[in-house]
Amino acid sequence: MTIQEIQNQLIDEFSFFEDWSQRYEYLIELGKSLPLIDEKYKTDLYLIKGCQSQVWLHAQYDGTLIHFTADSDAIITKGIVALLVRVFTGHTPQEIAAADTAFIDKIQLKEHLSPTRANGLVSMLTQMKKYALDIIQNS
């Protein structure tokens, strides 16, 4: 499935909910299903700067695809990073670097987050794309 197809799937999933309390519940469920990050990556080196909560993000490159794992100490934030992991994991660095993330606006996620969580979302996206760009530049 392409990054765009996954984003379209998320747009469809979020459209099922009538209000943001239901969407927050869905984010929490996504966070609970997030594959666990190895404890050895829960260090300052993998901590995303710019997030109010603690968010750890690890990228594993297998020579073709990047696989992300993540965790957070806050349930909504964990759901947000789970969304991004779902979109980007299992794709090439080139696909991730070039990806449009308009789905965030289409599901109105930033509009319904506190300013600090919205900044954290941008920081998570930036870090994921940075991992992809670093791999491209070092290949």
* Secondary structure E strands in 43-134: 55-61, 66-72
Based on the residue annotation, tell me whether 74 is a catalytic residue of this protein.
Answer: no
Could you say which of 30, 51, 66, 82 is catalytic? 51
Contact 34, 78 (CB under 8 A): yes
Q: Look at residues 104, 79, 126, 135 and name the one whose alpha carbon lies nearest to residue 3.
A: 104
Please give the distance of CA 27 from its chain centroid, rounded to a whole number: 11
Residue with tokens 């969407």: 23
CA distances from 65 to 7, 18, 35, 41 (A): 18, 36, 17, 19
Q: How many whole angstroms separate alpha carbon 7 and alpha carbon 133? A: 21
Active site residues: 51
